[in-house]
Chains A and B, each alone.
Chain A
Amino acid sequence: MRGLFKTVLMLTASVLLLMACEPKPQPIQFGSDQCEYCRMMITEPQFASQVVNKQGRTFPFDSIECMVAHDLTTDNPDNIHSHWVPDFTNSDVWLQAQEAHYLHSETLRSPMGLYLSAYGVYQVAEEYHNEYLGTLLEWNEVRDLVRQEWLSNRDNQPHNHNSH
Chain B
Amino acid sequence: MNNYKPIQLHLFGGLILLLLAWTSVSEASASDTAADIVVSPDGPVVSIQEAVNMARPGDHIRVEAGVYVESNIMIDKKLTLEGIGYPEIDGNLEGHILIIAADSVTVSGFFLKNSGRSHVRDYAGIYIDKAKDVVIENNRLDNIFFGIYLSATERGVIRGNEIRSYERRESSSGNGIHLWNVKDPKILDNKVEGQRDGIYLEFAKGAEISGNRSNNNNRYGLHFMFSDDSVYRGNTFNKNGAGVAVMYSKNVDMIDNIFENNWGTSSYGLLLKDINDSRITGNRFYRNTVGIDSEGSNRVIVHRNDFELNGWAVNIKSSSRENQFTENNFIENSFDVRTDSPRNPNHFEGNYWSHYEGYDLNRDGIGDVPYRPVRLFSIIIQRQPESLILLRSMFITLLDTAERIMPVLTPATLIDEKPKMERIR
Q: A30: which B residues are within 8 A, CB to CB?
A: 169-171
* CB closest chain-A residue, reference B264: A32
Q: Are B120 and A108 touching (Cβ within 8 A)?
A: yes
| Interfacial residues of chain B within 242-270, with CB under 8 A of chain A in the complex | 242, 245, 247-250, 264-266
Residues in B with CB closer than 8 Å to A154 are 248
In Å, the complex CA distance between A98 and B160 comes to: 48
Cβ contact within 8 Å between B225 and A32? no
How many angstroms from the CA of A109 to the CA of B295 in the assembled complex? 25
Bound-state Cα–Cα, A23 to B223, Å: 34
Residues of A within 8 A of B218 (CB): 31, 43
* A32–B266 touching, CB < 8 Å: yes
B166 shortest CB reach to chain A, Å: 16
Question: Once the chains are docked, how many angstroms separate the CA of A157 from the CA of B204?
Answer: 9
| Bound: A113/B274 CA distance, A | 15
Given known contacts A39-B295, A41-B242, A109-B122, A156 and B228 CB-to-CB distance under 8 angstroms: yes
**B336 part of interface (Cβ distance < 8 Å):** no
A108 to B122, CA, bound (A): 9
Least CB distance from A118 to B in Å reads 14
Please, which residue of chain B has its CB at the minimum distance from the CB of A156?
Answer: B226
Hey, which chain A residues are within 8 Å of B241, CB to CB?
A: 31, 41
A49 in the interface (beta carbon within 8 A): no
Residue interface bits B288-307, CB-to-A below 8 A is 1, else 0: 00000101000000000000
Secondary structure class of chain A's binding surface, majority of residues: loop
Tell me which of A34, A41, A158 has the highest count of chain B C-beta atoms within 10 A of its own C-beta: A41
Chain A min CB distance to B258 (Å): 21
A38 at the interface (CB under 8 A from B): yes
Decide: A156 near B273, CB < 8 A? Known: A31-B170, A32-B265.
no
What class of interface size applies to chain B in its complex with A?
20 to 34
Chain B 217-233 near chain A by CB (<8 Å), digits 1 or 0: 01110000111100000
Instruction: Report how many A-B pairs have Cβ atoms within 8 Å.
Output: 64
Are B247 and A40 in contact (CB-based, < 8 A)? yes
| A44 CB, nearest partner CB in chain B, Å | 6
From A33, A43, A132, residue with most partner B Cβ within 10 Å:
A43
CB-CB < 8 A to B293: which residues of A? Answer: 39
Q: In the complex, what residues of A have CB within 8 A of residue B265's CB? A: 32
Give the residues from 105 to 151 in chain A that come closer than 8 angstroms, CB to CB, to chain B: 108-109, 112-113, 132
Asked if B170 contacts A43 (CB within 8 A), the reply is yes
Chain B residue, CB-CB nearest to A32: B266
A44 proximity list for chain B (CB < 8 A): 171
Contact B219 A31 (CB under 8 A): yes
User: Which residue of chain B is the closest to A117 with respect to CB atoms?
Assistant: B120
B271 within 8 Å of A (CB atoms): yes
Name the residue of chain A whose CB is nearest to the CB of B228.
A156
Contact call A113/B220, Cβ cutoff below 8 A: no
Is there a chain B Cβ closer than 8 Å to A45's Cβ? yes
> Which residue, B122, B170, B196, B203, has most C-beta atoms of chain A within 10 A?
B170
Q: Closest A-chain residue to B220, C-beta based?
A: A41
Residue contacts A-B, CB under 8 angstroms, 16 given: A30-B170, A31-B169, A31-B218, A31-B219, A32-B264, A32-B265, A32-B266, A38-B247, A41-B170, A43-B196, A112-B225, A113-B226, A132-B120, A156-B203, A156-B227, A157-B203
Q: Top 3 nearest A-B pairs by Cβ distance?
A: A43-B170, A31-B170, A156-B226
Interface residues of A (CB under 8 A from B): 30-34, 38-41, 43-46, 108-109, 112-113, 132, 154, 156-158
